[in-house]
Amino acid sequence: MKDVAIIGIGMLKWGELWEKSIRDLCVEAALNCIEDAGVDHIDSMAIGSMSSGLFTGQEHLASMIPDYLGQRYLPAVRVESACASGGLAVRNAFLEVASGMSEIALAVGVEKMTDVNGGMATYALATAADQDFEAFHGVTFPGLYAMLARAHMQHYGTTREQLAQVAVKNHANGTRNPNAQFPFAVTREQVINSVLVADPLTLLDCSPITDGAAAVLLAPVEVAHRLGRHPLTVITGIGHATDSIALVDRPDMLHLGAVAHAAQRALAMAGKTIQDVDFAEVHDCFTIAEIMVMEAMGVVPPGQGGPATLDGMTALDGSFPINPSGGLKSKGHPVGATGVAQLCEAVMQLRGTAGERQINNARTALTQNMGGSGGSSVVHIVEVQ
């Protein structure tokens, strides 16, 4: 396989973007990405979107998005793996370039979630859970993650303050991100005392409903060298894994097996260990998710994610910063776009262009994108060379 570099990134400010359609979001992110790369053509496109049909009534994005980007007849595909759809789109674009099928491949992630009411958004998101054994019985994703949080607290002694600190830390990072949906600080007391959603999780433990898109442009390393516009950032490892969709079918509901396997595969491909990673963007759809993800990837042993967070290990100036972008919690979570946006943040950090949230001497990044309650996961390792 060819070595693959990220030659361009494209973002826009996320939020409740009433004036923009799903095609507008995709095209804006893609054009920003193409301009950043300085190229005059693309050869293929992968579009990550979880549920555009339910959120906007628009399927067949693989036809619509290239057309409105001015790229009619381009080979394009839409991919779906719930909230891991964006990460999977990047993986597909990587395979296009690594195999030689495409020289320049565009990965775009998008979701337009605010055009429906809260009930419909909850229904659309619940399609990523087991319909027969979870959703049919009224268990939504806040309920599933609340069960994980309660079990984690009972088994490991994780505290409510430790959960809340995930939100505090990520919102603090989000105040430094101009593209974040909710760029404001919160305190542990505000998180704990906000409206209860599903015990023990409150509103400020939960990621929001978001409109947004993000894009990355991939090419062989020799093309990146020829362009010479940015420091060379290379995807050196990718891991992808799935697990049982229903929590009840997992041997240990407190172990995110898909995350562990995806991380192991990505690190092995890159020839790295988790100790070689300088920072990570992970899937904090709920505060408990970030804690369980860092444990599954081996950042800390099982049960130590909460104490490590409270002690500052995962803060911007900690020994293993997590979610310098603000994460899903503050930056927002347009479900199909999140995995691509994680790569955008990784590249900004590795280029040294992340502004006030810049991590010192960042050389190796990990991004972890997850679908459902851990039913699928995609991990990328990116290095500056």
Residue among 152, 230, 240, 333 flagged as catalytic = 333
For 146, the token pair is: 């609340």
Q: Pairing state of beta strands 76-79 and 44-48? A: parallel
Q: Which of 56, 79, 75 shows the shortest CA–CA distance to 66? A: 75
Instruction: Tell whether omega for the bond before 75 is within 30 degrees of 0, i.e. cis.
Output: no
Token pair for residue 283? 């899937």
Burial of 178 (0-12, 13-18, 19+ CB in 10 A): exposed
In DSSP terms, 10 is beta-bridged to: 215
Q: Output the six-digit token pair for 143.
A: 């309920």
Closest CA to 107 of 266, 324, 283, 342: 342
User: Does residue 304 contact residue 295 with C-beta atoms inside 8 Å?
Assistant: yes
Chain centroid to Cα 360, Å, comes to 22
Q: How far is CA 146 from CA 89, 196, 259, 328, in A?
A: 29, 11, 19, 17
10 Å Cβ neighbour count for 318?
16
What is the spatial distance between Cα 15 and Cα 184, in angstroms, rounded to a whole number?
13
> Does the annotation mark 333 as catalytic?
yes
Active site residue: 83, 206, 285, 344, which one? Answer: 83
Taking the C-alpha atoms of residue 41 and residue 130, their distance in angstroms, rounded to an integer, is 41
Largest CA distance in the chain: 56
> Sheet holding 44-48: strands in order across?
76-79, 44-48, 105-112, 211-220, 4-10, 233-242, 376-384, 364-371, 279-281
The DSSP 8-state label assigned to residue 88 in this structure reads H
- Residue 189's identity, in one-letter code, is E
8 A C-beta contact, residue 348 and residue 9: yes
CA-CA distance, 378 to 266, in Å (whole number)?
Answer: 9
Residues annotated as catalytic are: 83, 333
